Structure 1
Amino acid sequence: MYINFNEYEMLELFESDPVVIGQYEAGNFIYSKTDEFGFKLVFTISIYENECIVSLSHQSYKTPIVDYRFKDVVALVKNEDCLILKRNNNEELIKVFFKPNFSFSFPNTSNDR
């Protein structure tokens, strides 16, 4: 099993090629993008381990502001300026928005407590 995604769509979102970790065939990549305010979104993907890490940092901080690890990821889907991580049952784990600013949405959580 592996993560299904379109490399060209990732290029559209991140506006750069990924950094390859180790051998290309191993399927480990780091995508990153920095906005005009100094926020940096780093997206690490391990295709064959079905794992993704989403991290947001700012140039004025030493450690990331948020750092999310997702397991059992089977698909990355681009929807306009949004990247959606999905599990086997089509469950959406997180939506990562690129515009107007970097932001996150967790579709399976409720604001009702």
Structure 2
Amino acid sequence: MPYEGRKEGTRQLTGFTHKAPITIDPTNFIYFFPTASPSNPECMWIALDHINYFKRAENAQTQVVFKNKQSFIIPVSYTTLNNQVLRTALLKTTLTKRIEDSERKSLYYANGSKIMNASERKGAYQ
């Protein structure tokens, strides 16, 4: 799916229109977010699940340490990066819930009948 389609999907799920994170592969939990406007040549894309941690650095920048132990100083503020991480986490949670709900509905319809709860008994009520 091209970038514009992924961006539109994010907008529909979250309402984010600027610096929107995108889903690359929800089944493998691959979500990326931009550090600036994607039209900005200084923009970098970061994979959410590859971040180990991040902290404030000098000159309103942020140090990002990835799970592979590599560390980079990113030219965006801690607050901006934290906001992008939170927006991406919201996208991930929202999409995961939608997928789970869809799978639950598919299971319901595939069985052709209501799945009984533990407290229900098979058969008609008298």
Q: Which has the higher helix share?
A: 2
TM-score by length of 2: 0.26
Q: Which has the higher strand share?
A: 1
